[in-house]
Amino acid sequence: QLQLQESGPGLVRPSETLSLTCTVSGGSISTSSYYWGWIRQPPGKGLEWIGTIYYSGSTYYNPSLKSRLTISVDTSRNQFSLRLSSVTAADSAVYYCASEVGSCSGGSCYSKYYFDYWGQGTLVTVSS
């Protein structure tokens, strides 16, 4: 069973860059069976998909965040990371990483668009 764990600073200054890492255990990040995603949840509010990465490095971003967002993968460390630049208070949220079920057919792989394993989440506050 996969386990995911987020790590990174809990406090980020406005206009700076938020950086988080998700460490995957219980399986390899370099598998065609999974994509890897980030989701966030502002306090007391709903869930928002941030972006997704495949082990090959292919990325899929929420268009509303795309200009500030970079998601990368480090297969040697079984980790994937999130960088969100120019943050404001509106970026304060619990950030979750999650595994996203994938499937391959006829040489093409695709996500099935749902998240089956989640990290516990990490609260990031943007404040001076």
* Interface with other proteins (CB under 8 A), residue from 61, 80, 84, 91: 61
* Binding status of residue 77 toward other proteins by CB under 8 A: no
Contacts of 108 by beta carbon, 8 Å cutoff, 6+ apart: none
The burial class, CB within 10 Å (0-12 / 13-18 / 19+), for 37 is buried
Give min distance, CB of 113 to other proteins, in A.
5
CB 122 within 8 A of CB 21: no
* Binding status of residue 62 toward other proteins by CB under 8 A: yes
Distance separating alpha carbons of residues 111 and 105, to the nearest angstrom: 11
* Binding status of residue 107 toward other proteins by CB under 8 A: no
Give min distance, CB of 97 to other proteins, in A.
10
Which residues are at the interface with other proteins (CB under 8 A)? 37, 39, 46-49, 52, 60-64, 96, 101, 112-116, 118-121
